[in-house]
Structure 1
Amino acid sequence: MQLTPDFEPAKAVKSLLRRSRQGALATLMAGSGDPYCSLVNVATHPDGSPILLISRLAIHTKNLLADARVSLMLDERVEGDPLEGARIMLSGHAEEITADRDLVRQRYLNAHPSAEAFVDFKDFSFFRIRLSGTHLVAGFGRILDLKAAQFLTDISDAQALIDAEQSAVEHLNSDHREALGLYATRLLGAGSADWRCSGIDPEGIDLQAGTKTLRLDFPERITGPGDLRKILVRLADQARSPEGRTP
């Protein structure tokens, strides 16, 4: 299939993964194997793989505990015909998170603050979807399959950044809301809103205002807090310049 020269499939998948907050989770009914689909809230691990916070009382949780194979559809919420927006159908296996639970918990709550009310209920658990690939539909001539390695974020050398992420998120949200607003309006062309940071990883920063989400890619990959400070200052300077706005 022919792809237009300016289209970067992996970048499109990465962006939708980081910006999505809800998705359609498909599991196999325990016992019968019949397909079952449900709406779930979604956050992302630092590497981009989806994180779910789900109750063991829910049918989809019982299903994936019996058979870990799942698929998750994420779509670009557009006005008008929803089929005109991009969407990805992710496939993989769901596994309950035991290690790094504090990290996953915080990233999920940054994306879904209202979950604070039930995140520690005994019947709720975090699950991560270990992805094998995705099917991307992004318009005419933009339909293809990608393997997980093509769109997940390499975090093998970024532990220092991961360790510093939450303190950086809190610092940005408490002391640099003006800069976050400039990132959204000047660099990404979004409207003015109470933009806050909801996540940071080696490839970019996630912004959120109510139900609106944005993804700002870094000009180069970073691995530590020192690199993060430098790149955020550079992006703020770019946003304040007359030529700052991204077309």
Structure 2
Amino acid sequence: MDPKTPAQQARAVARACRTASLATIMAGNPGHQPYASLVLVAFDHDAAPLLLISRLADHTKNILASDRVSLLCDGTVGLSEPLTGPRVSLLGMAEKTDEPRHRARYLARHPSAEMYAGFGDFAFYKIHVERAHIVAGFGKIHWLDDYLYAGDSAALAAAEADILQHMNTDHADAVQLYATKLLGKSGDGWSLCGIDAEGADLLRDGEVARLGFAKTIATAEEARVELVRLVKQARGS
């Protein structure tokens, strides 16, 4: 049995996704029809989704007319029976954001987006999640009003860039162990692209992997302690 709460499970599924299906309300003529599209997604420290989209795209035109959206995060990739796997639908409002942290978190997860992030027609958006729906397996279905992480992440967010640089520059061997020994991933060249209160995100050639923590953290020192514990676990596995 998964000891995590449904909200923790939902955040873990979402944060592990590199892409998602975005549903918007079609603007213009014919209007009011649902429109689904594929987007690259990142997540803020509270697990709110972050998007980088062009106003030339239909989904952005729809958002500018009606900010109500839904985002499907699919955790079933690679399963022979996808309907037995986890997926999360996030419902809320999309709002344009100029917050530097949002840009940094998104581009760390999607480095190739740097080439067009500065184009005049592109902008970052944050989805303010109001409700979530998780299907975690047969009979494990929940509507959630507490999807977002509610802990204080301010200190960790402020230290995130330094933590990532330190780990990727001075402890690349540890990051590689996280990927191969703890997450069962193959290949060399894994790096940390994000860290939050509940875990860290690893990246290699466009593949994202999620490393969960044993307990939540709130500071750079707590991050150091947990990352050291995990590398010891990896070396002993």
What is the match of residue 38 of structure 2? Answer: 39
> Is residue 110–residue 206 contact of structure 2 (8 Å, CA) maintained in 1?
no
SS of 1:118's equivalent in the other structure is helix
**2:149 — aligned with what?**
153
Structure 1 unaligned residues grouped into runs of 5+: none
1:68 match: 67
Partner of 2:112: 114
Measured at CA, do residues 94 and 5 of structure 1 come closer, stay the same or move farther in structure 2, by a change above 3 Å? closer
- The alpha-carbon deviation at position 6 of structure 1 amounts to 5.7
| Deviating more after overlay: 177-186 vs 48-57 | 177-186
User: 2:34 and 2:14 mapped to 1: Cα distance?
Assistant: 23
2: CA distance between counterparts of 1:18 and 1:60? 22
Q: What TM-score comes out, normalization by structure 2 length?
A: 0.91
- 2:52 maps to what in 1? 53
- Count of residues paired in the alignment: 234
Q: How do residues 118-129 of structure 1 correspond to structure 2 at under 5 angstroms?
A: 118-129=116-127
Deviations 1:197-221 (CA, angstroms, capped at 9, x unpaired): 1101111111122243222222222
Establish whether residue 219 from structure 1 lines up as the match of residue 214 from structure 2: yes
* 1:97-246 alignment, distance < 5 Å: 97-98=97-98, 101-147=99-145, 149=146, 151-156=147-152, 158-241=153-236, 244=237
User: How many Å separate the matches in 1 of 2:139 and 2:5?
Assistant: 12
Secondary structure of residue in 1 paired with 2:103: helix
8 Å CA contact retained: 1:46, 1:155: no
Match for 1:9 among 1, 6, 10?
6
**Residue aligned with 2:117, SS:** coil
Cα contact 2:23–2:69 (8 A) shared by 1: yes
- Could you say what secondary structure the match of 1:172 adopts? helix
Q: Report the aligned-residue RMSD.
A: 1.8
Which stretch shifts more, 227-236 or 102-111?
227-236
Letter in 2 for 1:54: I
Gapped regions of structure 2 (runs ≥ 5)? none
Check the 8 A contact 2:14/2:74 in 1, yes or no. no
Give distance in 1, aligned partners of 2:128 and 2:159.
24
- Superposition TM-score, scaled by structure 1 size: 0.88
- Give 1:102 shift: 1.4
Letter of the 2:137 counterpart? G
The aligned amino acid for 1:30 is A
Partner of 2:18: 21
How far apart are residue 20 of structure 1 and its match? 0.7
Q: Could you say which residue in structure 1 is the equivalent of 2:87?
A: 87
Deviation for aligned residue 1:187: 2.3
